[in-house]
Amino acid sequence: MRKMYYVLLLATATALMSGCAQKQTAPETTASEVAETVEATEAAETAELPGETGCIDDEALAFCVAQPGVITAIDAKSGAISIRGMLAGSGTEQELILNTDAKTAFYDIAAGKKAELSALKVGDEIQSMVSTAFASSLPPQTFAYAVFLNVGEELIPEYAELTSVQKDGEKLVLTDSSQLRWVISADTELRRLSDGGQLKGEELKEGVCCLIWPALEAVSENPDAGLATEKLVLID
């Protein structure tokens, strides 16, 4: 488990932004305090954000949050997407930078297939699944595990890393890193992200990451039985 230097939760990022807006008399700052501030800022700017593997590979990243927004800028070279939207859990609209890499899953909801960063443009409304860890920068920035375009009124899938795959008769029961259980049956549509091809159940293994659409009906009245799964896309 790698050591993290970058973690700053949403509440802290929001507090920083609101604090900057307040008109207060600045206290006298010593040379040593200035040096410490510069050092901290440089460390934050160079800190590694989560997402080296594209999977949720650290205890602090066991949960993702949905983050909607309108694209205000795209850096095709770095993969950074700037958006303006309601910051998850904060109740305030502000700028946010979504960092992406080669492992980020781009998915066109309307087309039902893989998309690319190049398909995005300024002004697009997107949905994303992002890490709850934020770099200490203004605007706040975090890593996007998945970015969804052409969402419309559709529901976005869950982003999940599988921690367990068990066979239960003719079904598979998957457990993810947030301890949700997903039931895969003969009615579940299984696909690969890379080519949209059909996926076999035996290709689902511990450690892989998936996009999962829950079905509307329950598996059973037992809450421990798991959630029925309408569709699963393996991020390969």
The tens digit of pLDDT for each residue in 51-70 reads: 444 465 555 445 689 999 99
Instruction: Give the model's confidence band at 156: pLDDT under 50 very low, under 70 low, under 90 confident, else very high.
Output: very high
User: Tokens in use for 231?
Assistant: 């569709």
Q: How many CB atoms lie within 10 A of CB 20?
A: 8
List, in sequence order, every residue forming a beta bridge with 74; answer none if it has no partner.
Answer: 81
DSSP output for 132-164: S-BBS-SS-EEEEEEEEES-TTPPPPEEEEEEE
At residue 19, does pLDDT exceed 80?
no
Instruction: Give pLDDT, residue 89.
Output: 67
Burial of 143 (0-12, 13-18, 19+ CB in 10 A): buried
At residue 8, does pLDDT exceed 70?
no
pTM for the model stands at 0.74
Instruction: Give pLDDT, residue 91.
Output: 77
- Over residues 70-91, the mean pLDDT reads 91
Of the listed ranges 74-83, 201-210, 221-230, the least confidently predicted one is 221-230
Contact 54, 104 (CB under 8 A): yes
The tens digit of pLDDT for each residue in 211-224 reads: 999 997 765 666 66
pLDDT over 70, % of the chain: 69
Q: Which residues contact 22 (CB under 8 A, 6 or more apart)?
A: none
Instruction: Give pLDDT, residue 41.
Output: 40
Beta strand 181-184 pairing with 158-168: unpaired
